[in-house]
């Protein structure tokens, strides 16, 4: 089917309006982006059960007659984001002297590769002053909500989910999978849980994406053994690397939409889609994930009720029955917390707002380096301390999680995330602490670091909380102010101001 053809646009318009396709019409489209042309998706005994069921009625097409309250059919309320005019036809642009394809693309908020492909430009140098090029008009994405926000984050909805038991119960390729991760052999459940905890992404979602993209959960012979999430890059082979990539992209879509900092998705075939302004952040995370693996036609199917939603429904039931909303209360205040070191010490404020974990999370973290001259990653005898009363719910791989509400779950309430805590003398899981109690030593363990320090971030109900904004970091009265520069900004209190700087200097020293 030719991109941009009338038939393709009819398919999209039907999907966007919630139209349920006749079975013969939808069958060719119901497959993961990776498996869309795979022989296993038609006529093979290894087809995943949800694909085999396509000959039966679509029982998940909900209506009040199905016993679901009508108000439940419009789940996850989310204030409408920026509304965009519907664009139905391309426009023309006359190239001005000095313009390049890149500058023209930026002018229209598009990517140059899509404009180039749309105009069949084999050489981008073909454009010259006075020439006319067609500017493609992005279609509007669907308003169908795939999952609630609480199904994306590692929050309250994930507490009772037993990853290993669920995988074992399905008996597919995933149940017997394992690989070496950071020097240790881990089974599939351990890998999924590790990624879930680090990225704060729901393991239930990760498993459903694995099933939709490769059939690892239910099939002894999956669609792909190398790329279970369908992202085919040489460095991304194996379950662990695929999940690192996938969890990061889910977070990227979720938090960009949360912050109102994205209006379009660029798909794997370089085409672009305007994001429908009424979707929720959980759906935005899923849409962004599939944007990285799907071309235009496959993307519209994957994010519709006929795509990934169906796999999710077949595995767990209606996703909005798991909803815990709102994840963030309207009036959310950070509890009183202190700086992560003892009184009388002077540490360096080496990093302002930056990613809590990887590039897809919001700028939710701050960095502090121990006293003395910089010594690279050499061991430090300085102590990182608890910033508040609580219980240690995780301590492994350089990470320590402090649960402030004391219920023993990292998925609920306020949690403080420490990274780069050395294995030596590191506090044990289950330890009850008071503010100021020792946690461990700053180091380079966990994540990426070039010098010993502590990386500090906050989560509430599993959602990363930006270091600045509505709920800024306040530590011992020092309030964080950003400057829109990653690792920049400053901490200010009644008695002074401390600037973030990647090193040791007089102006980045801070005391309790």
Helices (H), 184-307: 188-199, 203-214, 239-259, 281-291, 296-302
Which of 128-142, 283-297, 328-342, 344-358 is least confident? 128-142
What's the confidence (pLDDT) of residue 107?
85
Tokens of 379: 């061991």
Percent with pLDDT over 90 in the chain:
67
Distance (Å, whole) CA 315 – CA 309: 10
Sheet holding 478-481, edge to edge: 474-475, 478-481, 490-493, 496-499
Going by pLDDT thresholds of 50, 70 and 90, the confidence category of residue 82 is low
Q: What does the DSSP 8-state code read for residue 137?
A: P
Which of 137-141, 423-427, 432-436 is least confident? 137-141
Cβ neighbors of 471 (< 8 A, separation 6 or more) are: 332, 333, 334, 465
Distance (Å, whole) CA 322 – CA 156: 9
Which of 340-349, 371-380, 426-435, 462-471 is least confident? 371-380
Which of 289-298, 372-381, 432-441, 490-499 is least confident? 372-381
Distance (Å, whole) CA 459 – CA 462: 6
Q: What's the whole-number mean pLDDT along residues 290-297?
A: 96
Cβ neighbors of 272 (< 8 A, separation 6 or more) are: 110, 111, 114, 136, 138, 264, 265, 266
* Residue 440 to residues 41, 232, 381, 400, Cα–Cα distance (Å): 51, 39, 9, 9
Tokens of 329: 């209360």
Which of 3-12, 166-175, 276-285, 456-465 is least confident? 3-12
Tokens of 96: 């001005």
Percent with pLDDT over 70 in the chain:
83
Going by pLDDT thresholds of 50, 70 and 90, the confidence category of residue 88 is low
* Residue 366 to residues 117, 490, 506, Cα–Cα distance (Å): 42, 10, 18
Q: What's the whole-number mean pLDDT along residues 479-501?
A: 95
CB count, 10 Å around CB of 97?
A: 7
Q: What's the whole-number mean pLDDT along residues 13-28?
A: 34
Higher pLDDT, 106 or 435: 435
Q: What is the DSSP string of 277-303?
A: TT--HHHHHHHHHHHTT--HHHHHHHT
What's the confidence (pLDDT) of residue 75?
60
Cβ neighbors of 485 (< 8 A, separation 6 or more) are: 352
Please say if the pLDDT value at position 2 is more than 70: no
* Residue 403 to residues 321, 461, 485, 486, Cα–Cα distance (Å): 26, 11, 30, 27
* CATH architecture assignment, domain 346-511: Distorted Sandwich (2.70)
What's the confidence (pLDDT) of residue 45?
25
Please say if the pLDDT value at position 56 is more than 80: no
Please say if the pLDDT value at position 18 is more than 70: no
pTM here? Answer: 0.84
Helices (H), 292-439: 296-302, 308-316
The owner of tokens 């100021």 is: 436
Where in the chain is CATH 2.70.70.10?
346-511
In this structure, is the dihedral angle defined by the CA atoms of residues 62, 67, 70 and 71, taken in order, positive or negative? negative
What's the confidence (pLDDT) of residue 89?
64
What value does the mean pLDDT of the chain take?
Answer: 85
Q: What's the whole-number mean pLDDT along residues 371-398?
A: 93
pLDDT in tens, 300-328: 999 999 999 999 999 999 999 999 989 99
91-136 domain in CATH 3.10.350.10? Answer: yes
What's the confidence (pLDDT) of residue 426?
98
What's the confidence (pLDDT) of residue 164?
98
Q: What's the whole-number mean pLDDT along residues 167-189?
A: 96
Please say if the pLDDT value at position 23 is more than 70: no
The beta strand positions in 123-177, using DSSP E, are 132-135, 139-140
Helices (H), 82-141: 101-108, 112-118
What's the confidence (pLDDT) of residue 373?
77
The owner of tokens 């990517």 is: 111
How many C-alpha atoms does 432 have within 13 Å on its Cβ side?
A: 3
Please say if the pLDDT value at position 355 is more than 70: yes
Strands 272-274 and 139-140: parallel
What's the confidence (pLDDT) of residue 51?
25
What's the confidence (pLDDT) of residue 10?
36
What's the confidence (pLDDT) of residue 28?
29
pLDDT in tens, 146-163: 999 999 999 999 999 999
* Residue 323 to residues 80, 167, 320, 328, 462, Cα–Cα distance (Å): 19, 22, 5, 13, 13
Where in the chain is CATH 3.10.350.10?
91-136
What's the confidence (pLDDT) of residue 85?
56
């Amino acid at each position: 089917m030719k991109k941009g053809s009338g038939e393709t646009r009819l398919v999209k318009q039907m999907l966007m309006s919630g139209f349920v396709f006749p079975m013969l019409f939808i069958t060719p489209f119901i497959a993961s982006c990776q498996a869309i042309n795979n022989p296993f998706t038609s006529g093979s005994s290894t087809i995943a059960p949800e694909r085999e069921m396509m000959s039966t009625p679509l029982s998940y097409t909900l209506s009040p007659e199905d016993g679901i309250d009508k108000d439940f059919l419009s789940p996850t309320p989310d204030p409408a984001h920026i509304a965009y005019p519907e664009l139905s036809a391309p426009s023309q642009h006359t190239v001005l002297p000095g313009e390049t394809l890149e500058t023209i693309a930026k002018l229209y908020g598009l990517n140059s590769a899509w404009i180039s492909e749309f105009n069949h430009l084999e050489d981008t140098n073909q454009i010259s002053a006075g020439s006319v090029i067609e500017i493609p008009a992005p279609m509007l994405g669907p308003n169908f909500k795939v999952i609630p926000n609480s199904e994306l984050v590692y929050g309250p909805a994930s507490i009772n989910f037993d990853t290993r038991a669920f995988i074992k119960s399905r008996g597919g390729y995933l149940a017997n999978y394992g690989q070496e991760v950071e020097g240790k052999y881990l089974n599939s459940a351990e890998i999924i849980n590790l990624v879930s905890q680090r990225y704060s992404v729901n393991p239930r979602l990760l498993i459903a994406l694995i099933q939709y993209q490769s059939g690892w959960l239910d099939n002894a012979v999956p669609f792909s053994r190398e790329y279970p999430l369908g992202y085919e890059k040489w460095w991304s082979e194996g379950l662990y690397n695929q999940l690192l990539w996938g969890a990061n992209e889910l977070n990227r879509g979720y938090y960009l939409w949360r912050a109102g900092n994205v209006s379009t998705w660029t798909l794997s075939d370089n085409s672009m889609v305007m994001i429908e302004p009424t979707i929720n952040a959980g759906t935005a995370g899923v849409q962004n994930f599939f944007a990285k693996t799907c071309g235009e036609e496959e993307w519209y199917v994957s994010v519709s009720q006929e795509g990934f939603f169906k796999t999710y429904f077949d595995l767990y039931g209606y996703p909005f029955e798991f909803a815990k909303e709102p994840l963030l209360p309207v009036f959310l205040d950070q509890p009183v917390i202190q700086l992560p070191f003892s009184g009388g010490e002077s540490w360096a404020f080496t990093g302002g707002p930056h990613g809590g974990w990887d590039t897809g999370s919001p700028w939710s973290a701050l960095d502090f380096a121990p006293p003395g001259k910089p010594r690279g990653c050499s061991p430090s005898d300085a102590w990182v301390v608890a910033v508040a009363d609580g219980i240690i719910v995780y301590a492994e791989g350089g990470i320590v999680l402090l649960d402030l509400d004391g219920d023993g779950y990292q998925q609920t309430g306020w949690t403080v995330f420490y990274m780069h805590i050395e294995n030596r003398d590191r506090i044990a899981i289950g330890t009850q602490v008071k503010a100021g109690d020792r946690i461990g030593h700053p180091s380079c363990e966990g994540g990426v670091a070039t010098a010993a320090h502590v990386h500090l971030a906050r989560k509430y109900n599993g959602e990363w909380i930006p270091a600045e904004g509505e709920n800024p970091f306040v530590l011992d009265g020092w309030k964080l102010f950003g400057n829109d520069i990653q690792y920049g900004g400053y901490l200010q209190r009644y008695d002074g101001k401390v600037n973030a700087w990647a090193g040791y200097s007089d102006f980045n020293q801070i005391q309790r």
